[in-house]
Structure formats: C-alpha cells, structure tokens
Structure 1
Amino acid sequence: MTLQKNRRPAPMTPEDFRDALERLGQTPASLAKLIGVDVRTARRWSTGAKPIPDSVAAQIAALVEAGVVTPELVAEIEATRNDTSAEPQIARFIWVQRKDEDPYWTIAEHDLIADVFYLPGRLERFTADELVLGAVITPPAA
C-alpha cells in the first residue's frame, strides 16, 4: 500500500491482500478465522468482489509487520476473542465524519456484528470506507 498526500494509506487492493496472505503463509479461510470474519468475505476480498475495509487492511498490515503468524499468536488472538469474562460488545459509539463534502463530525452507532454505522437522522447504513473514523466514545465508569 502506498501513502497518499493526506497521509492515509491507499485502500488495500486484492493484489495487496493476496500478497499479505502469501507473506503470512495463510489462506483466505485461515485468515478469516484468525481475524473473525466470514470465510466467504475473505474470499471476496481476494478476488476483488468486495472492497477491503480500512479497518481490516490495518489489521492485516499489523500482522504482516509482526511477521509470520505463529501458533502462539493464533492462540493469543483466539483467547482474546473467546474471553467470556466480559459481556461481548455488540455496538459502540464513535465519532465519524462522512467522506463526501460534509464537514461536520457526528456520533455514530457502530454495529460490531454487521460492521455498519448508523448516523443520527439517517436511515441508510454506512461502511467504514465511507467515513472518517474518530475516537471511540467510552461510557463513564459506573
């Protein structure tokens, strides 16, 4: 991936995705299991049938930077994902700005299961690629 003038990485292409798989010694199915997405989704990313979200591209870049996916790393990721000590988070609130000509920031609800964002006063759903993502809003301590 190359950097653009605004210092955001360029979107991950299917070629970048396949190169990352090769460097990590993974298949689309094994990487899907590792990062917790549907196998069909990862296969669509590798063919270009579905765009790769920036958040996933960042995860993959971090894995590539870390090097080979070791059994210890897989176990650590799975332990984190399978941690049942805390109630699983299904939604969160996050500051977002639409990438079109809207200059305003607003708070969106991020559905973590469907990986879509709901903006106030709008019926349509947005993907991470359509938004500039800001800080996650954490609830105050009880």
Structure 2
Amino acid sequence: MDSSSSAPFLLASGALHLGFQLTVSLVVYPALADAPESAWREIHDAHSRRITPVVVIVYGLLVVACGWAVLAGPDGWTIVSVAAAAVAGLLTAFGAAPTHGRLGQSWSRELVHRLLLIDRGRTAAAVVCAVAAFLAAR
C-alpha cells in the first residue's frame, strides 16, 4: 500500500478533529469554566452527556484514519500527523477524562484549571496533526 491512499482521509479527519478541538477550547470549556459552583454538577453532567457522542465520532474517525495511514506505510509528515493524533488521544484518555471524572463528583478551581491546561495541549496536538496531514497530502 502507498501512504498517499490514506492521506485524504487523514487530512479530513485531522481537520475535523482540529475544528472540534478549537470549538471545545474557545467555546465549550470557557463556558464550562464560567459555570457557577452552585450549579456545577448539573451543568457538568449535561456537558458530559452532550459531548460524549461527538468525542466518540471524532476520535473514532481519527483512529481509523491513523490506522489506515500506519498500514499504508507512513512516511515523513504522515508520521508526524499520526504521532500528534496519538498525543491528543493520550492527553484525552489520561488527562482530560480522569479530570472530568473528578469534576463530575465536585467542583474544584484547581481541577478546572488543570482541565484547561490539558486542553491547550490537546489543541496544540490537533494543530500539528492537521498541518502535518495537510503537508502529507500535498
């Protein structure tokens, strides 16, 4: 297989992931961080219910695209894109998800701050993933 066969799908899924991540970073998490402590549990629970299906779709497509790229024999920018997607996934699985779990139990300024920091890392990884996928597809 040739890595050029997977490049358009990696680019599309990387761009989708970047759009999703920017929306979370610039709209969703700031609104969540501004939620009043008195209504935290209800707001956080609603956020979790609404965002989970979107996360599953976006990350599912990204995993499939990265898997296809790896099986196709990645090179250069494709490797960078896949690695950046892996960083975003690891930050989600081992950073954001456990922090959300703790925040689901009770509000904490420290945990909200941690979530925002983790999210900045995911956004940076999503930018690298999408840009590298674009360069790989050229």
- Provide TM-score, normalisation by structure 2: 0.26
Q: Hey, which of these two has a bigger chunk of strand by percent?
A: 1
Q: Hey, which of these two has a bigger chunk of helix by percent?
A: 2
